[in-house]
Amino acid sequence: MEIIFSIDFITGIVLILIGIVLLYLFKQGRNKLIVQSQVRLTIRSSTGYFFILLGFFDIVIAIISNLVPGFPSWVRIPLTLILLVLVLIVIRNRN
């Protein structure tokens, strides 16, 4: 029960939802977002997949940290980034 209310778990769900919204906007043809009057962000499909992967890894780290006793909290961010870099390397090598 404490996994569901973990801040990492909630952050992972939010990141996945942001990725889904970005993919939806890309599929609709809106690949430019105007954040302010002079700042434009270009959305690619890889941007949405990046957020979804980051959210998925955040959820996995939250589950692992709650199941393993004595799991240090400072390991969460580097472990998430290492997993993400490994997946991106594998995806890049496939293409």
The domain locations on the chain are 7-94
Please report the pLDDT score of residue 78 as a whole number: 82
* Summary count for the chain: helices (H), strands (E): 3, 2
CA angle (1, 71, 68) in 5-degree steps: 55
* More confident call, 16 vs 36: 16
At residue 51, φ and ψ (nearest 5 deg) are -65, -40
Please report the pLDDT score of residue 39 as a whole number: 57
Q: Rg (Cα) of the chain, in Å, rounded? A: 16
- pLDDT over 60 at 9, yes or no: yes
Please report the pLDDT score of residue 31 as a whole number: 62
List all residues 6 or more positions away from 43 whose beta carbon is below 8 Å from its beta carbon: 22, 25, 26, 30, 31, 32, 33
Report pLDDT digits (tens) over 32-80.
665 555 555 566 667 778 788 888 888 888 888 888 888 787 777 787 7
